Structure 1
Amino acid sequence: MTINIEYEANKKLNFDYEALVEKVIVACLYYEACPYEAEVNVLLTNDTEIQLINKEYRDIDKPTDVLSFPSIEFDREGDFSGLEESTVSYFHPETGELILGDIVISVDRAIVQAEEYGHSLEREIAFLTAHSMFHLFGYDHMEDSERIRMEEKQNNVLNQLHILR
């Protein structure tokens, strides 16, 4: 498994964010029963940088807490069957790992949201990571039923890891 984590935020975190992010990613992969070794890229940045990315890719000129850039277009969310037979190669040519995509988290927003929700910054970073992982698995939250399903999955993973509110 390859988890690339880059830290470009101005504010420093006083906990082992790399271990936390890796633990959440691995737990999400197990929860969804991903049958492959996977590759995920994570960038922890600030509001200014995530706003630029948000503007470029979503045409929304404001900061956000997390952005997800899935590499796979799932026919059905979380359904890994058929990926090897697809005409699109979703696998790294050298490692053979499934390339799931990229996660961008604003540390600035995470700090504010942790305070607003009354939980730890570790819990907020873990939540944003889990949330983004389910986007990489093809889940969305445009409809209420989708939102409820996605929230249940995120909460189940965080509860299994004992990362509570």
Structure 2
Amino acid sequence: MTISLEWYDEREPAGGTNEAKDAGWQELLERLLKLAGEAEGVEAGVVSLTLTDDDGIRELNREHRGLDKPTDVLSFPMREPGASEPDIRYDDEYETVEYETETDAGEESEWEGDDGLAADGFDPFAEMLGDIVISVPRMYEQAEEYGHSPERELGFLFVHGFLHLMGYDHMTEEEEKAMIAKQEAVLSRAGLSR
């Protein structure tokens, strides 16, 4: 099992999917997710990332936080901080499903075998860790404001969002220092230090 990224781009096509793919953002964020997961001891799970614009993130910010303004990143964890994973219980009559490794035409199917993993490594039963939403216009503005690359800012926002999914926060000075140190350590390992 691995930690994986589901990728969505809600922006208009002119500033959306092609830009993100051409800039190598998906590969960058998958690498950051792996590094952040390793740092937090997370070996498996799925993180959903949505790229949006200021209007899209403003709507989510208003709906979920009661703040009628755009922000740079929002995180929506699937588990409450400190909650343990639920126990999985099986009936005595639980039946397993075996997947064929070849189709009738002799071609390989989308399944590798009976481990439940698709040929591309996707695990349909992996735990959903949560959702991260990033405003791309805000990311560009902040990169310019802070004097670093858009990739560095995107990485910062993504790792920040991931740490929120893991239960970290920055409500006190101590929490903020700890969270920033963790973010910078991951970004540094990825070659995105300031």
Same fold by TM-score, threshold 0.5 exceeded?
Answer: yes
Q: Take 2:72 and 2:162, find their aligned partners in 1: how far apart are those partners?
A: 14
1:102 aligns with 2:110: no
**Percent identity over the alignment?**
39
CA displacement 1:106-160 (0-9 Å, x = unmatched):
0000000000000000000000000000000000000000000000000000011
Paired residue for 1:48, among 50, 55, 60?
Answer: 55
Structure 1 equivalent of residue 78 of structure 2? 71
Specify every segment of 5 or more residues in structure 2 that has no aligned partner in the other structure, as ranges: 89-122
Aligned pair 1:138/2:140, yes or no?
A: no
- After superposition, the CA RMSD in angstroms is 1.9
Whether the 8 Å contact between 2:4 and 2:33 is mirrored in structure 1 is: no
Which of the numbers 10, 27, 35 marks the counterpart of 1:27? 35
**SS of the counterpart of 1:24?**
helix
Matched, 1:149 2:159: no
TM-fit CA distance, 1:74: 2.3
CA contact (8 A) 2:4 2:30 kept: no
What TM-score results when the alignment is normalised by the length of structure 2? 0.74
C-alpha deviations, 1:62-116, integer Å up to 9, x for none? Answer: 000000000111228xxxxx42549xxxxxxx73422110000000000000000
Alignment partners' CA distance in 2, 1:150 and 1:85: 30
**Distance (Å, rounded) in 1 between the aligned partners of 2:41 and 2:48:** 19
**Equivalent in the alignment of 1:5:** 7
Q: Is 1:83 aligned with 2:112? A: no
Gaps of 5+ in 1: 77-81, 87-93
Question: 4+ residue runs of structure 1 moved beyond 4 angstroms?
Answer: none
Q: 2:29 is paired with a residue of what secondary structure?
A: helix
* Aligned-partner Cα distance in 2 for 1:74–1:113: 29
Task: State how far apart, in whole Å, the 2-side matches of 1:123 and 1:2 are.
Answer: 20
- Aligned-residue offset at 1:9: 2.6
Query: Radius of gyration: which is bigger?
Result: 2
